[in-house]
């Protein structure tokens, strides 16, 4: 008489196989020459940032808001002016520090009178944002011109209405003259404010070692960074973090994957807050992405090593942990500590300085 296998045993074996399967299915990692690595990057739209103002216009100019040097100069002045906030203490530059990665390095943005973002949202970088196809974590703004009006009006950021802005700027003869020179109208409008700031933000592109490598300098990045770049290009990262900006080109669900092993672990060491979070970190702020669907604009990775903390609510402090989370929950192939270090070395090559496009008036 044959001995039957107990159903509990079968269930245990199936669950174990599901848990262990990802550890056995690994994508092969090719060894690429510098020329092959560069060719693969360039063939997937990883382009270097332009150097000249003329080439900049070809990449970022907006037909609905044509750039000019006068408009850019006006936008720069507005970007740095606290006059656009209710209590005159906060400017665009307060949350977007250009020397520190284009963000504020805080878990959540702080506005007038010390108010925190009610959804505990982390400030995305303004650097290279003009290259993105949507703005904000939920992608609700189509471009930097539309985005520029959001924080000014948010009650927990700059707390101004369009009418407040217009009244305040129209009372300053210097601004009235500058706006008239750019827009050829007698009165300042909120739409003009958005357009001027947007034109300036379109110039905030950064270049670094990564760009020099793409342009042919094999010595611009280290051997370790090249291993990390190879991982990035061959293991699935480039699928979402694409384009000249290395991100910001699409909306993606996060996380894409969940693991049975995590739920088993919670049975023995329950953490109610973590179990209730759809993310692999606490969901402080309760934000769930576009329309509550866990869809997020893919972050721009240029200068990402300078923009800690990470993710929409700033709950991850270290770039290494952010890479581990993304490799596991998005790529589905958790990187080893050595691979994480290689990827971080590559991400550091994406650091760069704002290009001087000879547009100062």
Residue 360, Cβ density class (10 Å: 0-12 exposed, 13-18 middle, ≥19 buried): exposed
Q: Are 334 and 328 in contact (CB under 8 A)?
A: yes
Q: Give strand pairing partners of 208.
A: none
Tell me the per-residue pLDDT of 111-160, one tens digit each, with 9 for 90 and over.
999 999 999 999 999 999 999 999 999 999 999 999 999 999 999 999 99
Residue 24 token pair: 């056995």
User: Which CA distances in Å does 209 have to 26, 196, 245, 279?
Assistant: 30, 30, 14, 33
Domain ranges of the chain: 27-49+206-354, 53-201
Averaged confidence pLDDT in the chain: 91
List the single range of 71-75, 227-231, 239-243, 272-276 with lowest mean pLDDT: 272-276
Percent of all residues in the chain with a pLDDT value above 70, rounded to a whole number: 88
Average pLDDT over residues 150-178: 98
Average pLDDT over residues 173-183: 98
Residue of 145, 157, 166, 201 marked active site: 157
What pLDDT shows up at residue 359? Answer: 79
For 53-201, give the CATH class. Answer: mainly alpha
Average pLDDT over residues 272-292: 86
269 is catalytic: no
Q: To which residue do tokens 């094999």 refer? A: 218
pLDDT band per the 50, 70, 90 thresholds, residue 28:
confident
Domains 27-49+206-354 and 53-201 share a fold: yes
pLDDT band per the 50, 70, 90 thresholds, residue 259:
confident
The dihedral built from the CA positions of residue 95, 69, 131 and 342, taken in this order, carries a sign that is negative
DSSP strand pairing (206-207 vs 251-253): unpaired
Residue 280 token pair: 């692999």
Task: Please state the CATH superfamily assignment of the domain spanning residues 27-49+206-354 in this structure.
Answer: Cytochrome c-like domain (1.10.760.10)
CA triple 121-123-128, angle to 5 deg: 140
Average pLDDT over residues 210-233: 98
Whole-prediction pTM? 0.89
């Amino acid at each position: 008489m044959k001995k039957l296998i107990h159903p509990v045993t079968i269930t245990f074996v199936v669950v174990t196989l599901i848990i262990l399967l990802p550890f056995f299915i690994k994508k092969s990692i090719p060894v690429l020459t510098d020329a092959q690595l560069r060719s693969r990057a360039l063939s997937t739209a990883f382009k270097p940032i332009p150097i000249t103002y003329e080439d900049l216009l070809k990449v970022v100019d907006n037909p609905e808001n044509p750039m000019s040097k006068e408009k850019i100069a006006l936008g720069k002045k507005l970007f740095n002016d606290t006059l656009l906030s209710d209590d005159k203490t906060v400017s665009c530059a307060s949350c977007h520090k250009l020397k520190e990665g284009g963000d504020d390095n805080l878990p959540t943005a702080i506005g007038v009178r010390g108010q925190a973002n009610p959804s505990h949202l982390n400030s995305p970088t303004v650097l290279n944002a003009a290259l993105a196809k949507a703005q904000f974590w939920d992608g609700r703004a189509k471009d930097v011109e539309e985005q520029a009006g959001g924080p000014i009006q948010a009650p927990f950021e700059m707390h101004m209405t369009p009418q407040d802005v217009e009244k305040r700027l129209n009372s300053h003869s210097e601004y009235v003259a500058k706006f008239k020179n750019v827009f050829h109208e007698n009165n300042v409008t909120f739409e003009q404010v958005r357009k001027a700031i947007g034109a300036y933000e379109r110039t905030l592109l950064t270049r670094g070692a990564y760009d020099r490598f793409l342009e042919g300098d094999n010595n611009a990045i280290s051997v370790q960074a090249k291993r990390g770049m190879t991982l990035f290009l061959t293991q699935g990262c480039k699928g979402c973090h694409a384009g000249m900006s290395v991100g910001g080109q699409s909306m993606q669900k996060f996380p894409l994957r969940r693991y049975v092993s995590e739920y088993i672990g919670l049975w023995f060491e329950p953490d109610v807050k973590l179990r209730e979070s759809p993310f692999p970190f606490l969901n402080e702020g309760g934000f769930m992405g576009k329309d509550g669907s866990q869809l997020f604009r893919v972050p721009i990775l240029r200068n990402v090593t300078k923009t800690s903390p990470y993710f929409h609510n700033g709950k991850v402090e270290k770039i290494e942990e952010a890479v581990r989370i993304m490799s596991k929950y998005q790529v589905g192939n958790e990187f080893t500590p050595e691979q994480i270090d290689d990827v971080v070395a590559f991400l550091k090559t994406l650091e760069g300085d704002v290009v001087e496009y000879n547009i100062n008036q």
